[in-house]
Structure 1
Amino acid sequence: MDRPTLDELLEAVGEFLEKELLPHVADPRLRFQTLVALSALGIARRELALGEALAEEDRRELGTLLGREAPLGELLRTLAAKIREGQAPPGTFAFLKAHVARKLKVASPKYLERYP
């Protein structure tokens, strides 16, 4: 494997922003934008580490719920249509709760820690 890996590159940029740049940023607007960039790097690293596995969990669970196999996007559109039609299959709420939790593992894991 080539080094540095993508995750190592993202980590290095994050460390630079957090430890070298952020302590010297006095402008509140620029400080906020730097914090947003740090957050985006964290999301990118978690997506890289977890994204495929979480999407596969969604695809598998949703396929079971709907009783068919298809790409995740197609399954999500099918479920959305069923909900709009008032035909949500049993287990929809449990799936959606797990789906949102998987999304939060990438986007904001601290939220899940506060509100399990």
Structure 2
Amino acid sequence: MQDRPTIDELLEAVAGYLRDDVMPNTQGRLSFHARVSMNVIEMLRRELATMEEHLAREWDGLDHLLGVEPMPPKLAAVRDALVRRNEVLCERIRKGEADEGPWRLAVLSHLRRVTLDKLEVSNPALAAEYRETGQG
């Protein structure tokens, strides 16, 4: 693990180079690909900055819906377990368990929260718009 520059500082430097040096001095396809690359790097920065909080919030939501399960200590195991737990949630939804009643409301609330977290990474302006209009 490096102390300086941090991962975020490195990504910020590359995004800044693309935004400030490449995009204004190119056109057409090259400028477009520089913009796409810059957006990907900015998305990575947002994901890295929020990953721990978002994964914990999704895990907690699934604990409330499916029952408490200890969260694994390693990131890869957490991701694998979230896939498995979400498959269980999907199966229960397919069986009709979320068609009505309080569990339905809990599922919808959880899905809105998780979707908004994902939107904060991929499109923070749209996530803010949803929050402002009370849709999130």
Instruction: Give 5+ residue unaligned stretches, structure 1.
Output: none
Q: How does 1:81-92 map to 2 (within 5 A)?
A: 81-88=91-98, 89-90=103-104, 91-92=106-107
Q: Which amino acid aligns with 2:107?
A: T
Which residue of the partner structure matches residue 55 of structure 2? Answer: 55
Q: Which amino acid aligns with 1:60?
A: D
Q: How does 1:37-52 map to 2 (within 5 A)?
A: 37-52=37-52
In 1: Cα distance, 2:86 partner to 2:63 partner:
9
Q: Which runs of 4+ in 1 moved over 6 A?
A: none
- 1:115 match: secondary structure: helix
Which residue of the partner structure matches residue 109 of structure 2? Answer: 94
1:108 aligns with 2:118: no
User: Does the CA-based 8 Å contact 2:59-2:82 persist in structure 1?
Assistant: yes
Bigger RCO (CA 8 Å, 6+ sep)? 1
User: Does the CA-based 8 Å contact 2:22-2:31 persist in structure 1?
Assistant: no
- Listed one character per residue, the Cα deviations across residues 30-68 of structure 1 (whole Å, up to 9, x for unaligned) are 221111111100110011111121111100111111123
- Listed one character per residue, the Cα deviations across residues 7-39 of structure 1 (whole Å, up to 9, x for unaligned) are 10000001100001110112x222211111111
In 2: Cα distance, 1:52 partner to 1:73 partner:
16
Name the TM-score, length of structure 2 as normaliser: 0.78
Name the TM-score, length of structure 1 as normaliser: 0.91
* Equivalences, count: 115
User: Does the CA-based 8 Å contact 2:15-2:41 persist in structure 1?
Assistant: yes
